[in-house]
């Protein structure tokens, strides 16, 4: 890799990481504002709104953004024509969903539990998210990290500023609508900018466009079940809580999931570093190195999740008012589930490397269906806390299914399986210890501090871990 290209890749990787932390970090930091200026009912309704957005952005967008990398090499000089054609396809899809959902709403066939304004805002927000995913995929391939940062910053800051202004002024009596419009308007404006940006080649010839659509949909549509199942695993519980026992309970569970965002960001960042490095080592048959690094990553992530679990009750007290204090009983098992989300990274790497994507979708769908069934059976009986434990159970199942599939594909053991299962069992045990000690603040913090010190000793020096991760980023692409 040339020095110029290496610097370009490093800068781009740093830019995407900063953008990810900007979006997720601002969401995390501002949650304390929204829990105080929104009613608990409206906060719960908005949590449900974002869960539906994750579903409709996948349906409206048809996961077409996942085809960009392959299309760049397949179509060459016609790549921009392909990208433009996908934008037209998203516009048609958005208009179709708007027409369909309005007809269903007006005929009272389907309402999603929102009024007509919020329903249309949901669809526009979902379409904007789909466009943003296309934009992110496009600029990532071009290493245009500055463009990514600009859009990420505009979206995060615009969303926050407008939402707070609307809630505190025009929509004091309807904080849900203020939050929804504050989220949707900036995203929709960014969506319009992206349409203009991506439609660089406006030579719209219908026969050629049909060929682009056909290839893109054949590539992308099989990914939708996997994407939707991931949404079900992560967020569908909030929708079921809202519909089965009320918005106030959905708010408490939704707040716990916001606390979990810290784990999600760390998992996403580590995965972004791990995947390209894993591919490189597999191509060079460096199995011992893969095993050693996997062991270290697993132990460090285990320590992080345990430490965060032990201090999470205080994090909740800092970012939420007293009425959300019971979120601790949800946040602790949800944080534990985050460790199994991380473990999934390793077997899924084998599945993707060997192009066994069908098995990936099947396993994810099985876990998602299990999640829905368990929520349906347990939420009415045990309340919103049940959803936290069904999340944990189904993510354990999620990991195990992919683990056994990967073991069948990769006959020779590639990872330190003992570390996986010992850490998994300990994570569940520690979760119950943390719940038992939830009132013992000093003891919990001392345990978290001790584990942090042990972890630093394990990696010898914190700077060594930073250098190691940087070295893997330098090998990216």
- List the domain boundaries for the chain: 3-220, 236-474
Please, which residues have CB within 8 angstroms of residue 464's CB and are 6 or more apart in sequence? none
3-state class percentages of the chain: helix first, strand second, coil last, to nearest 5: 85, 0, 15
Distance CA 259, CA 238 (A): 14
- Residues 112-138 have a mean pLDDT of 91
CA distances from 398 to 347, 401, 405 (A): 11, 5, 11
- Residues 196-202 have a mean pLDDT of 80
Q: According to the model, what pLDDT value does residue 2 have?
A: 46
Distance CA 199, CA 65 (A): 14
- Residues 324-345 have a mean pLDDT of 89
Count of C-beta atoms within a 10 Å radius of residue 377 = 12
Q: According to the model, what pLDDT value does residue 357 have?
A: 63
- Residues 442-448 have a mean pLDDT of 91
Distance CA 234, CA 232 (A): 6
Q: According to the model, what pLDDT value does residue 14 have?
A: 53
Residue 207 pLDDT level (bands cut at 50, 70, 90): low
Q: According to the model, what pLDDT value does residue 423 have?
A: 92
Q: What tokens does 203 get?
A: 């030579």
- Report percent pLDDT > 90 for the chain: 30
- Residues 194-222 have a mean pLDDT of 81
Lowest mean pLDDT among 208-217, 228-237, 264-273, 412-421: 264-273
Residue 102 pLDDT level (bands cut at 50, 70, 90): very high
Query: What single DSSP character describes residue 205?
Result: -
Mean pLDDT, the chain, as a whole number? 82
SS3 174: coil
CA angle 226, 231, 235 (to 5 degrees): 160
Q: According to the model, what pLDDT value does residue 59 have?
A: 93
């Amino acid at each position: 890799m040339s020095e110029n290209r290496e610097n370009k890749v490093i800068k781009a990787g740093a830019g995407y990481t900063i953008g990810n932390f900007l979006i997720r970090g601002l969401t995390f930091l501002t949650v304390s504002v929204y829990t105080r200026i929104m009613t608990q009912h409206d906060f719960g309704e908005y949590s449900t709104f974002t869960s539906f957005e994750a579903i409709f952005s996948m349906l409206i967008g048809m996961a077409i953004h996942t085809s960009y990398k392959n299309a760049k090499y397949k179509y060459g000089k016609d790549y921009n024509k392909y990208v433009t054609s996908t934008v037209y396809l998203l516009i048609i899809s958005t208009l179709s969903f708007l027409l369909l959902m309005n007809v269903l709403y007006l005929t009272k066939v389907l309402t999603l539990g929102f009024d007509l304004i919020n329903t249309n805002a949901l669809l526009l927000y979902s379409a904007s998210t789909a466009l943003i995913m296309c934009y992110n995929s496009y600029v990532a391939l071009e290493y245009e990290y500055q463009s990514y940062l600009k859009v990420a910053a505009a979206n995060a800051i615009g969303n926050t500023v407008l939402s707070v202004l609307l809630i505190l002024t025009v929509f004091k009596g309807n904080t849900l609508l203020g939050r929804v419009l504050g989220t949707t308007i900036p995203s929709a404006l960014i969506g319009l900018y992206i349409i203009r940006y991506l439609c660089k080649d406006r030579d719209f010839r219908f026969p050629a466009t049909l060929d682009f659509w056909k290839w893109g949909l054949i590539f992308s549509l099989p990914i939708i079940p996997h994407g939707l199942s991931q949404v079900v695993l992560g967020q569908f519980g909030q929708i079921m809580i809202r519909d089965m026992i009320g918005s106030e309970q959905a708010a408490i569970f939704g707040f716990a999931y916001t606390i979990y965002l810290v784990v999600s960001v760390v998992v996403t960042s580590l995965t972004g570093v791990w995947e390209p490095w894993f591919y490189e080592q597999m191509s060079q048959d460096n199995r011992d190195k893969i095993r050693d690094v996997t062991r270290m990553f697993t132990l460090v992530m285990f320590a992080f999740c345990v430490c965060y679990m032990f201090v999470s009750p205080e994090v909740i007290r800092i970012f939420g008012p007293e009425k959300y204090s019971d979120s601790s009983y949800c946040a602790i098992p949800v944080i534990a589930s985050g460790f199994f989300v991380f473990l999934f990274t390793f077997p899924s790497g084998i599945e993707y490397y060997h192009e066994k994507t069908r098995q990936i979708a099947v396993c994810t769908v099985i876990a998602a269906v299990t999640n829905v069934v368990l929520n349906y059976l347990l939420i009415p009986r045990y309340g919103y806390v049940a959803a936290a434990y069904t999340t944990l159970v189904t993510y354990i199942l999620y990991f195990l299914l992919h683990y056994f599939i990967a073991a069948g594909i990769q006959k020779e053991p590639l990872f330190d399986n003992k570390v996986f299962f010992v850490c998994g069992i300990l994570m569940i045990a520690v979760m119950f210890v943390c719940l038992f000690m939830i009132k013992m603040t000093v003891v919990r913090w001392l345990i978290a501090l001790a584990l942090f010190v042990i972890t630093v000793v394990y990696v010898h020096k914190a700077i060594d871990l930073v250098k190691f991760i940087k070295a893997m980023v330098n090998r990216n692409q």
